[in-house]
Amino acid sequence: DHKWCCRAMFCLLPCVFVSVQGMSKERMMEIRRQNCNPMTMKITYYKKPVFIHQGHMQWLWDVDGKRYLDLFAGVATVSLGHSHPKVTEAAQKQLKRLWHTTNIYVHPTLHEYCEKLASYSPDPLKVVYLTNSGSEANDLAMLMARLYTGNFDIITFRGSYHGGTQQTMGLTSNSPYKYPIATSSGCTHTMCPDVFRGPWGGSHCRDSPVQTIRECSCAQGHCMASGQYIGHLKETFATSVPSQIAAFFAEPIQGMGGAVQYPKNYLKEAYKLVRERGGICIADEVQTGFGRTGSHFWGFQGHDVIPDMVTMAKGIGNGFPMGAVVTTPDIAASFAKASHFNTFGGSPVACAVASSVLDTIKEDGTQQNNLHVGTYLMTELAKLRHKYEIIGDVRGKGLQIGVEMVKDKASREPLPPEAMSEIFEDIKDMGVLIGKGGVYGQTFRIQPPMCITKDDVDFFLSVLNKVVHSYMDRK
């Protein structure tokens, strides 16, 4: 019995839980309704909410002591693991020395971290500005691009998510995250080169252990889909923006968009076209950075490109609020045309935590684990895709993975929201937390703490198999 097997496997996985007396679930929801912004009620992920109390590495416990395997990491943020001992120790050590001072003063942790972070970036990406979040980093990148180039228009992909500030909402091309107000003008959204859902794509297009099920007639080493999508980008240049632009934003693999991957060599050609028009190329590494893709430390390295600017956040601090913009000396110099001040950017505690994250990734072999465990997970998920008609696509690299659900493989129409929610809820009830994304909310997102093991993967696969099997039986 699938259900018995899942429970038996779960019981064999290591478990640590410290009970605590705290506020009741009913009282928390009452406060959430009365004193928290209504948005917090809207974004509660499940029909039956999860009340999280404690975390350790890849595990979370609710207030009743129920344990969950966390495969979403607080939206791809807890990069190394909940309450990772090495990072916790670094934070405690810094808290005892100095909590806060601003960057108007010169303090060691800021400079030690900036030098260390820059050492992970290829030349000429050596100048760092620290922020509090990814939205803030992208907002700042927009400003710097416009200051440096003297141009205004910025291009992003449809389905993109680059933040929730009023400025970055202009970059974001995903309707659930857009309000009916004027956001940043000068942002144009071009077709996302999605080789599964888009008009062009085949079975050899992307840099992933798992390819689409679409047929491909391309010659070896030549991707017709890439050329077709580049043609559409050229049409965007010809019709929708001035002859000179400020920037092109792209995540190396889309996050909120549903782990969408582009055809090989697409970004290389796109960068060339952007630079010909006076623009700079910006890699949004908020979700793909810090070794998550396994093969490389930065997602853009998998595309064999070097951007002019890189933005990052989330995994940079293993859940501690932090972000950064890394760029070239020339672009950074344009930022000095006026004064910009950030009270908490580069705080001593944030820098100590982020420095420990970099050290721990190297010491724990985290990037290698992402590659091996992630490849194993995707390969096994591909077997479930073959087994079930509603699993349309499996894609990603390392531990940045998407599973796109469809009505059927022939039409590739998205599985309806009510069906997605049903499956999503059942997976949670069986002890696993994952995410959702995609323009139509049709993609399950798997972006766990980067410490997960093959045993964890096997447990999740058993749960997913059971849940999808049960859903198909109920249809």
Judgement on whether residues 52 and 188 belong to the same structural domain of the protein = no
Instruction: Specify the number of domains making up the chain.
Output: 2
Tell me whether strands 309-312 and 323-327 are parallel, antiparallel or unpaired. antiparallel
Asked whether residue 445 is domain-assigned, the answer is: yes
CA distance 246 to 154: 6
Q: Would 285 be classed as within a structural domain?
A: yes
* Residue reference for tokens 């039986």: 473
Query: So what's the pLDDT on residue 4?
Result: 43
Q: Cα(176)–Cα(384) distance, rounded to whole angstroms?
A: 29
- 143: CATH: 3.40.640.10
Q: DSSP label at 406?
A: B
97: exposed, middle or buried (Cβ count in 10 Å: 0-12, 13-18, 19+): exposed
Joined together, the tokens standing for residue 441 give 């909310």
Residues 263 and 379 in one domain: no
pLDDT number for residue 13: 55
- Quick one: 348 and 376 in the same domain? no
Are residues 289 and 398 located together in one domain of the fold? no
What pLDDT is stored for residue 340 in this prediction? 86
86 three-state secondary structure: helix
Residue at a domain's end among 348, 364, 380: 364
Could you tell me which of 387, 443, 384 has the C-alpha nearest to residue 415? Answer: 443
Domain boundary among 364, 388, 412: 364
Q: Is residue 43 part of a domain?
A: yes
Same domain, 269 and 320: yes
* 31 and 44 share one domain: yes
Report how far residue 376's alpha carbon sits from residue 389's, in angstroms, rounded to the nearest whole number: 21
Residue 133 inside a domain? The answer is yes
Pairing assessment for the beta strands 187-190 and 154-157 based on DSSP bridges? parallel
Question: Is 330 in the same domain as 250?
Answer: yes
Residue 72, domain CATH: 3.90.1150.10
- Say if CB 198 and CB 412 are below 8 A apart: no
Name the token pair of 325.
């913009």
Q: Spell out a b/e string for 334-353, using b for 16 or more CB atoms within 10 Å of the CB, else e.
A: bbeeeeeeeeebbbbbbbbb
Rounded CA Rg of the chain: 22
Residues 211 and 263 in one domain: yes
3-state secondary structure 296-358: CCCHHHHHCCCCCEEEECHHHHCCCCCEEEEECHHHHHHHHHCCCCCCCCCCHHHHHHHHHHH
Bridge partners of residue 436, in order along the sequence: 444
81 within domain boundaries = no
Q: Is residue 143 part of a domain?
A: yes
**What pLDDT is stored for residue 111 in this prediction?**
95
Q: Indicate the helix (H) or strand (E) that contains 73.
A: helix 73-76
Structure tokens at 7: 């429970």
- Residues, the chain, total? 475
Residues 29 and 110 in one domain: no
Predicted local distance difference test score (pLDDT) of residue 33? 86
Q: Please state, as a whole number, how many other Cβ atoms lie within 10 Å of the Cβ of residue 40.
A: 11
Please give the Cα distance from 122 to 124 (Å, whole number): 6
Asked whether residue 48 falls in the same domain as residue 130, the answer is no
**pTM: predicted TM-score of the whole model, two decimal places:** 0.94
What range defines the domain where residue 109 resides?
Answer: 86-364
Question: Do 25 and 53 fall within a single domain?
Answer: yes
Answer whether residue 90 is part of any domain: yes
Of the three residues 364, 396, 417, the one that is the final residue of a domain is 364
Q: Are 257 and 439 in contact (CB under 8 A)?
A: yes
pLDDT tens for the chain, 475 residues long, are 444 455 555 555 556 656 566 788 888 888 888 888 877 766 677 888 898 989 999 999 998 889 999 999 999 999 999 999 999 999 999 999 999 988 888 999 999 999 999 999 999 999 999 999 999 999 999 999 999 999 999 999 999 999 999 899 999 998 888 888 888 789 999 999 999 999 999 998 999 999 999 988 787 767 899 999 999 999 999 999 999 999 999 999 999 999 999 999 999 999 999 999 999 999 999 999 999 999 999 999 999 999 999 999 999 999 999 999 999 999 999 998 888 888 899 999 999 999 999 999 999 999 999 999 999 999 999 999 999 999 999 999 999 999 999 999 999 999 999 999 999 999 999 999 999 999 999 999 999 999 999 999 999 999 999 999 999 998 7
The rounded distance, in Å, linking the Cα atoms of 214 and 195 is 9
Q: For residues 318 and 174, state if they share a domain.
A: yes
CA distance 125 to 140: 16
The pLDDT of residue 178: 86
Per the domain annotation, does 208 fall within a domain?
yes
- What pLDDT was estimated at residue 1? 46
